[in-house]
Amino acid sequence: MSIAKVIEIIGKSDKSWEDATKEAVETASKTIRNIKGVEVIGQTANVKDGKITSYKSTVKIVFKVEE
């Protein structure tokens, strides 16, 4: 039997929502082992002078709990 844990984090990028998601997973993988999946649950952006200045992706990271 295996057990999984889910955490929610926010990734940020100046390029795109896809890059923000990638950054979230890559940063989480520095301290979390056994990441098995990611679910994007929201996307937001900061705007200045009518232009998007940064993108944010709220994601759920799923990883296997070590026995």
The pLDDT tens digits for 10-60 are 999 999 999 999 999 999 999 999 999 999 999 999 999 999 999 999 999
Distance CA 10, CA 6 (A): 13
pTM of the model: 0.88
Q: Which among 41, 40, 12 is positioned nearest to 24, based on CA atoms?
A: 12
Distance CA 51, CA 49 (A): 6
In the chain, the domains with their CATH numbers are 3-65 (3.30.1660.10)
Query: What local confidence, expressed as pLDDT, does residue 1 receive?
Result: 75
